[in-house]
Structure 1
Amino acid sequence: MKKFVFIAVSVCIAAFFIGCTQPKEKGPITLNYWTHEDPARTELETKLIAEFEKENPNIKVVRTTQGAAKLIELVQTAFAANQGPDIFNLSIEDEYSYIANGRVAPVNAKAAGYKDEQSIYNSYLPEILNAVTKDGKVYGLPLEITNWCIYINKKIFRSAGLDPEKDYPKTWEDMVRVSEKLVIREGDILVRRGFDFRYPYYLVAFVPMVEQLGGKLISDDGKTAIIGDEAWIQFLTFMQQWGPAGKNLGSPTYKNARNLFNKDNNDVAMATTGLYQQGRIRKDNPEFFESNEWMVVPFPKFEAAVKDVAACYYGHFLMVNNDISKEKQEAAWKLIGFLLKHGEDYLREGGNIIQPTKALLESKTLKDMPYSDVFINDMNKAHMVYYGANSAELQTAIRSAVESVMLSGVSPEKALATLKTTAQEILDEENN
């Protein structure tokens, strides 16, 4: 049975990753670039890659996209089979392990268009490159930095007798009260949600809720996981009450609210997402985008919050496979440097993507973008998402805890006990 599974997986890998086996570098170089789906960015990068290939006729770029969650699995599977892409990008919490395990190459500063490594640091906001720096070397360059706020459909608010400008939720308790007025059910089925969380992304948007209450994911010395039992129990109790067995306002079993928001189909009033969502609304539903019937407000906090923390920001970093030839690595960093020199194009045309360069964050282009001030103000109250060699496993542990109280009737106290044990084991493995 194990042999059959191994063969089946090998066949799947070969089918999807065809072209990733590295040829001898005797002629033109082909770069395989894997990235997450984004129609606006695809349109821009297709154009930019064509320009790059024209300037560099010896380099051919094959750009492949997948949904964000699927891409995480495919990159992991490909590297496990030593058939990883030449260039890829993931969110840092899913990507850091490739640095920790030596699977990606350090940045070739000159190939990427910089005088030296210090010039790279000088171009970006302080702290941004810390996430991809190990032993004094930089292992990735940021395609985008992202934080999340709350998008609101004004029409749905008004249909429930609410004034979106005055009644939008400032606290998580407000979010419950407002959602109870917005929700529409058929029996126990939610046909319209007021709001729902982005459940796969527990490190980005759920850990800050715990931090608001005084808890932490990891102790300051990095040795202990899940700090502040009371804060974690308050958070898990809130999620239990949010779910089907409580007030029945949302659930991980429903389609992601962010994916529904653009359609304006009266099925979700609020969603957590980033500035990039504006480009997707414009692409998916131009009429809704131009209607002035949507707005963006800050990430809420609990009424009893002891810390004013917004959703974490996170980076998608472009990285290069360490197993490919030096010639390919140089070509890959050359492509990455070319793409990242078009920061304002990514912001205007590429789905409102923010590249965290000092120049872009001071640009009129960003400041003139709708609600950019909301995102920037929240980012100033946030911190980088937790990343580490086992950050993906920690995220899975939190997911299990949340889903157990929401869907399986587990008490917050029992869920916390399990989470503490599991998370500590993960952290101990990372530290040893």
Structure 2
Amino acid sequence: MKLMNKNAIPYLVLASTMLFTAACGNSTSGSETKPAAAGSESKAAPTSGQPVKVIWWHSMSGELGKAVDKLVADFNASQKNYVVEAIYQGNYDESLNKMKASMDSKSGPAMIQTYEIGSRFMIDTKAITPVQKFIDADKYDVSQLEENILSYYTHDGKLYSMPFNTSNPVLYYNKNLFKAAGLDPEKPPATFEEVADAAKKLSKDGVSGGSFAIYGWFMEQFFANQGAELVNNGNGRTSPATESQVNSDAGVKTLTWWKQMVDDKSMLNMGRKTDDTKKAFLAGQIAMTLDSTGSLFGIVNGAQGKFEVGTGFLPKPAGAKDGGVIVGGASNYILNNRSEAEQKGAWEFMKFLADAKQQAYWHVNTGYFPITKKAYDEQSVKDNMAKYPQFKTAVDQLHQTKAIKATQGAVMGVFPEARQLTETAIEEALNGKKSPKDALDGAAKEITAKIATYNKTVSK
């Protein structure tokens, strides 16, 4: 069955209020550059003499939306077979809810941008055509794309969607404050223990050592960086997840470390908004913070004339297993209730977006990773890397990530809710309402129950 049946799919997962969008949905754009060159002529011809309209729903607003509009205009000018119309549909949760409502009427798009934690849900709807079908038909060379980015969106050996906007988290630190505290400004702390030690030394003269927003994405990343899986059954990749492991040793160790720094007042608890920690960092009130690589250009530009920004890998416990970071952001899916010509047009547009020139433009104007390796050979990217050398940290962190189930990222149909429950547990622990273990035990129990309900509904 291709269409989503409202009685068979757990729509309540999407209908519930989801407070957080993907890891880097609010990133700040980089400096303006010359527009990317138009792509090559599409080889796929529509079935009629008129160009086929391809509707694309996306969640990129502000400067990101302007970059999207430029890419669309370039594609439309590059060939005559298809006309892509990009329509902003609100944040990722809002867009998914609109897609759900559109399925029976076929009023939805041919292509939709969906955040990474919506992957399991999108597959379970059976409302999509895996892009692997088009890859195989075209003999498209995926080796030109970043392996660690492809890995996230690959399930059961198939690529279900095409990566688009991609980021990971890095440690941002104030080099001036490091120097004033007697710390080496060229050597960011790499372990939990080093972060805690640095935070104590940096906490003086009205400055706090740092602050991490209460964001479930960060906990997910700390798991992966320890080589630990967030849910069972190979992070939900060898078979559907049935149990949350957020209360495992990796989670308890992470939250205990985090809480201890808050308790000894070397770290501030500023709540759930990354914008709040970003503002405090740029104001010189905190010396360290975690944020998306998608925010890098904005942070570096915001600190200009005030202090020098340093970047470091996401920290992990000393002696932790091999691991790395999980990609955040979103990918594009092709909906299977649109015509074959529309689906083919969506695929042609996806290939255009993945081209090195387009990826270079996207990276330089948004701060997201290029998904295509050859984009790094483009002069605009080389110039941008010289202007923002801090971004090399992000690239190195991505490339040094070991490809295992932990770093592929967890998949579960109730991921948005699971992330919120994790944030509630972190909040309870940092505010002293529960111990880290008790808080995470409670979250794991609730998440596991929601997974069970979802799995039963999907299997009907």
TM-score of the aligned structures, taking structure 2 as reference length: 0.69
Partners of 2:381 and 2:166 lie apart in 1 by 13
| 1:103 match | 127
2:284 pairs with one of 244, 266, 271 = 266
| 2:75 match | 52
User: Deviations for 1:139-181, whole angstroms, at most 9, x for unmatched residues?
Assistant: 3111143222212222343455544224x32222332333344
| 1:196 match | 211
SS at match of 1:299: coil
Partners of 1:84 and 1:395 lie apart in 2 by 27
1:420 pairs with one of 444, 448, 452 = 444
Partners of 2:294 and 2:322 lie apart in 1 by 24
| 1:22 match | none
Partners of 1:227 and 1:281 lie apart in 2 by 30
Could you tell me which runs of 5 or more consecutive residues in structure 1 were left unpaired when the two chains were aligned: 1-9, 11-24, 186-190
| 2:60 match | 36
User: Deviations for 1:92-150, whole angstroms, at most 9, x for unmatched residues?
Assistant: 1234311221233333876xxx6835424343344644544456654311114322221
* Residue identity matched to 1:422: E
| 1:280 match | 298
| 1:188 match | none
1:179 pairs with one of 182, 199, 203 = 199
1:169 pairs with one of 189, 192, 206 = 189
Partners of 1:297 and 1:159 lie apart in 2 by 19
- Structure with the higher fraction of residues in strand conformation: 1
* Residue identity matched to 2:330: H
Greater mean deviation of Cα atoms: 382-391 or 128-137: 128-137
| 1:217 match | 230
Partners of 1:93 and 1:159 lie apart in 2 by 41
1:357 pairs with one of 372, 376, 394 = 372
Partners of 2:381 and 2:350 lie apart in 1 by 22
Partners of 1:231 and 1:49 lie apart in 2 by 43
Percent of counterpart pairs with the same letter?
20
User: Deviations for 1:227-275, whole angstroms, at most 9, x for unmatched residues?
Assistant: 77444333332233344x6637232526425873698322343332344
Partners of 2:215 and 2:246 lie apart in 1 by 22
User: Deviations for 1:327-386, whole angstroms, at most 9, x for unmatched residues?
Assistant: 433333333322222344236533233233343467787677224543343222352222
SS at match of 1:46: helix
Q: Alignment length, in residue pairs?
A: 388
| 1:398 match | 422
1:251 pairs with one of 252, 256, 269 = 269
Partners of 1:290 and 1:169 lie apart in 2 by 24
| 1:123 match | 144
* Residue identity matched to 1:200: Y
Q: Are residues 358 and 256 of structure 1, via their aligned partners in 2, closer, same or farther at CA, if it must alter by over 3 Å?
A: closer
1:330 pairs with one of 344, 366, 377 = 344
Partners of 1:28 and 1:363 lie apart in 2 by 31
Confirm or deny: 8 A CA contact 1:218 1:227 kept in the other structure: yes
Partners of 2:216 and 2:138 lie apart in 1 by 32
- Aligned pairs for 1:61-72 within 5 A: 61-64=85-88, 66=90, 71-72=91-92
SS at match of 1:349: helix
| 1:13 match | none
| 1:5 match | none
Q: Are residues 95 and 85 of structure 1, via their aligned partners in 2, closer, same or farther at CA, if it must alter by over 3 Å?
A: farther
* Residue identity matched to 1:100: D
1:306 aligns with 2:320: yes
| 1:155 match | 176
* Residue identity matched to 2:196: V
Partners of 2:342 and 2:98 lie apart in 1 by 18
SS at match of 1:36: coil
| 2:22 match | none
The CA deviation at 1:293 is: 1.5
* Residue identity matched to 2:127: R
Confirm or deny: 8 A CA contact 1:215 1:227 kept in the other structure: no
Confirm or deny: 8 A CA contact 2:167 2:292 kept in the other structure: yes
Greater mean deviation of Cα atoms: 147-156 or 227-236: 227-236
Q: Are residues 184 and 115 of structure 1, via their aligned partners in 2, closer, same or farther at CA, if it must alter by over 3 Å?
A: same
Q: What's the C-alpha RMSD, in Å, of the aligned pairs?
A: 3.9
Partners of 2:89 and 2:438 lie apart in 1 by 40
| 2:401 match | 381
Q: Are residues 280 and 332 of structure 1, via their aligned partners in 2, closer, same or farther at CA, if it must alter by over 3 Å?
A: farther
* Residue identity matched to 2:297: G
The CA deviation at 1:74 is: 0.5
SS at match of 1:301: coil
Confirm or deny: 8 A CA contact 2:313 2:394 kept in the other structure: yes
Confirm or deny: 8 A CA contact 1:150 1:271 kept in the other structure: yes
* Residue identity matched to 1:151: Y
Partners of 1:403 and 1:263 lie apart in 2 by 21
| 1:207 match | 220
Partners of 1:349 and 1:44 lie apart in 2 by 10
Confirm or deny: 8 A CA contact 2:174 2:288 kept in the other structure: yes
Confirm or deny: 8 A CA contact 1:93 1:392 kept in the other structure: yes
Partners of 1:424 and 1:135 lie apart in 2 by 23
Partners of 2:266 and 2:260 lie apart in 1 by 7
1:141 aligns with 2:155: no
Q: Are residues 32 and 356 of structure 1, via their aligned partners in 2, closer, same or farther at CA, if it must alter by over 3 Å?
A: closer
Q: Are residues 290 and 325 of structure 1, via their aligned partners in 2, closer, same or farther at CA, if it must alter by over 3 Å?
A: farther
Confirm or deny: 8 A CA contact 2:52 2:341 kept in the other structure: no
